[in-house]
């Protein structure tokens, strides 16, 4: 990869990681369009720039993490299903479901779900004053929804947002809980993957990794701030339309 490739992938990762549009699908599509080989270093690079995106959430929501200790219980409970199922099934899912066809179908189906759900809850108010008020069982239910994101193209953000909406959050709260839950989930997943592939990191590619990390951090920072404003004004339906468009594009590329 050259520096231009590094910057482009960093921007794509940062923008799409926390939006309900599937960062995995976009990274696969971008790598194919850019003619990048699926090497071990590319996999490591994608893990490292994910960590850059996570750091943006940690800093953006630092006041919440430092002051709101109630939220930790909810996040731990929501993380349990993903941690258990991910540990048991992720390698099998990765072996059999990581294909362009699965990504395309997941993008389209997820887009339809977002559109339908957005129409159903357009003016509904939240059952809770704050995200930390959600009952433990509902928090765990959102965690089970997050497990659907192990299917490529589903989008962790989309799965948890849908789970949040179906468990009583309004649109803004569903997005916020999705951001917060991303921190333990992605640190665990990225950390686990990085432990398996850290040997590909050396002095020759350290600059590329550093640039990608910083670019993903900056892109995620702005994407999250704009996303919250966008869903308050427009909802999730346009992200659904976009997912369907990208899913169709995947199918056309396969043909």
pLDDT in tens, 144-197: 999 998 888 899 999 999 999 999 999 999 999 999 999 999 888 888 777 777
pLDDT in tens, 96-140: 777 778 889 999 999 999 999 998 887 778 999 999 999 999 999
Contact 1, 45 (CB under 8 A): yes
pTM of the model: 0.91
Contact 10, 213 (CB under 8 A): yes
Contact 173, 160 (CB under 8 A): no
Q: What pLDDT, on the 0 to 100 scale, is given for residue 158?
A: 95
Between the CA of residue 51 and those of 13, 47, 213, what are the distances in Å?
Answer: 10, 7, 7
**Mean of the per-residue pLDDT values of the chain:** 90
User: Which residues lie below 8 Å from residue 223, measured CB to CB, with a gap of 6+?
Assistant: 14, 15, 16, 17, 18, 19
Between the CA of residue 183 and those of 73, 153, 231, what are the distances in Å?
Answer: 14, 20, 21
Contact 205, 72 (CB under 8 A): no
d(CA 170, CA 183): 21
d(CA 179, CA 155): 13
Q: CB count, 10 Å around CB of 226? A: 12
* Rounded (5°) CA angle 70-74-75: 110
Return the closest-CA partner of residue 233 out of 189, 158, 166, 175. 175
| Residue 6 scores a pLDDT above 90 | yes
Contact 245, 123 (CB under 8 A): no
């Amino acid at each position: 990869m050259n520096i231009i490739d590094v910057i482009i992938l960093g921007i794509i990762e940062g923008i799409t990681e926390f939006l309900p549009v599937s960062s995995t699908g976009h990274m696969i599509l971008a790598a194919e369009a850019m003619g990048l080989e699926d090497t071990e270093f590319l996999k490591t690079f994608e893990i490292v720039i994910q960590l850059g995106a996570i750091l943006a959430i940690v800093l953006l929501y630092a006041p919440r993490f430092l002051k709101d200790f109630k939220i930790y219980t909810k996040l731990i409970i929501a993380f349990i299903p993903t941690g258990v199922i991910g540990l048991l099934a992720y390698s099998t899912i990765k072996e059999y479901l990581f294909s362009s066809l699965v990504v395309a179908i997941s993008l389209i189906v997820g887009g339809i779900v977002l559109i339908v759900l957005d129409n159903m809850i357009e003016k509904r108010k939240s059952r809770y004053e704050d995200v930390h008020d959600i009952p433990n069982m509902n928090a765990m239910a959102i965690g089970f929804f997050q497990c659907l994101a192990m299917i490529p193209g589903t989008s962790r953000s989309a799965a948890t947002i849908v789970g949040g909406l179906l468990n009583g959050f309004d649109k803004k709260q569903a997005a916020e809980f999705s951001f917060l839950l991303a921190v333990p989930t992605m640190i665990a997943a990225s950390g686990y993957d990085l432990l398996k592939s850290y040997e590909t990191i050396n002095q020759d590619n350290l600059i590329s990794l550093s640039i990608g990390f910083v670019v993903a951090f900056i892109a995620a920072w702005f994407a999250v701030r704009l996303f919250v404003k966008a869903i308050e004004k427009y909802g999730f339906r346009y992200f659904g339309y976009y997912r369907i468009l990208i899913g169709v594009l995947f199918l056309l590329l396969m043909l």
